[in-house]
Homo-oligomer: A and B are copies of this chain.
Amino acid sequence: MREEKKIITDFKKLVLLLKNKNICKRAVVVWPEENHTQEAVCKAVQEGFIKPVLVCSEQTKKEFADKNSFQAFIANSPEEAARKAVEMVKNGGADIILKGFLNTDVLLRAILDKEIGILPKDTVLTHITVAKLPEYPKLLFFTDAAVIPTPTDKQRKEQVRYIVDFCHAFEIECPKIALIHCSEKVDERHFPYTASYKVLKEEGEKGVFGKCIIDGPLDLKTSCSTDALKIKKINSPIGGDTDALVFPDIEAGNLFYKTITLFCHAETAAVLQGTLAPVVLPSRGDTIDSKFYSLALASLISDSLYNKEDK
């Protein structure tokens, strides 16, 4: 009999996998001056998959870090905290960054800084979300809801590479990647990127991204529903059972993210990809659970895709 325990179909199973593999990563928490971040960190510590280092105000050190026996550095401002966190990653002192109560811009400025930053030259920075929808039988990976406005062909290729790697980290042997468009037809005139979809599909077949199945253009329904595929009489190796969605641009990715969290009771986790360590950048509206799951995601990704030379 084949062992099936490995299939991670929801976030609880992800946390279980981290336990089974004894994964525990050092997370630097930038300016955790509010309860939601603090609660998510405590929960992740209880589950054993992170060891936190805070960069915080003197008050938060006293009232939160010391009480919980968490290591902490004092910073005088969010800007200073951001720079310190980035420095820690660069020096090998942290595996993950979690943004607390500061503007995304402030943290991104430190991350992207040409001198102290942690985005290697010529590396594409993008954003990957993992969602659990009540109406879908497995986790759904997608990119990009937050970073690249309109991906170039090169950027899209990296998005595909990253998301395949993510699926592999989740132990999905041969992930199915759908390149999303409003129809199934390549239309270079109105939608030039549909031509690049064809190229990515061919590269997928050649093994450029490792073991995976890439298909597109497909729409959301023909990607995620075998019924829709049958009704439209479309042949797709994905078979309406996709693991991941690559969206044409940030408007589509962001809208999908917001629609499923507002109207579909979806749970989500997300990280930046491309940096020297996974970065969790929660939005103001994100739940504690979403931050907790994002830390779990970042821990798995850090373990699977980073510091491979250490193993």
> Interface on A for B, CB 8 Å cutoff?
133, 135-136, 145, 149-150, 180-182, 190-191, 219-221, 224-225, 227-228, 231-232, 247-252, 254-256, 258-264, 284-285
Q: A221-B258, A251-B252, A252-B255 are in contact. Are A231 and B263 (CB under 8 A)?
A: no
Contact A262 B231 (CB under 8 A): no
Look across to chain B and name the residue whose beta carbon is closest to the beta carbon of A265.
B135
Q: How many identical subunits does the complex contain?
A: 2
Contact A285 B255 (CB under 8 A): no
Q: A135-B263, A221-B285, A285-B232 are in contact. Are A255 and B258 (CB under 8 A)?
A: no
Which residues of chain B are near A247, meaning CB under 8 Å?
Answer: 251, 255
Contact B228 A285 (CB under 8 A): yes
Look across to chain B and name the residue whose beta carbon is closest to the beta carbon of A140.
B263
Contact A254 B219 (CB under 8 A): yes
Which residues of chain B are near A182, meaning CB under 8 Å?
Answer: 145, 250-251, 254-255
Which residues of chain B are near A150, meaning CB under 8 Å?
Answer: 190
A-B interface, 6 closest residue pairs, ranked by CB to CB distance from nearest = A182-B254, A220-B258, A149-B190, A263-B264, A135-B263, A251-B252
Q: What CA separation (Å) do A249 and B232 show in the bound complex?
A: 23
Contact B259 A220 (CB under 8 A): yes
A43 to chain B, nearest CB (A): 21
Q: What CA separation (Å) do A143 and B228 show in the bound complex?
A: 22
A297 to chain B, nearest CB (A): 21
Identify A252's interface contact among B135, B221, B252, B264, CB under 8 A. B252
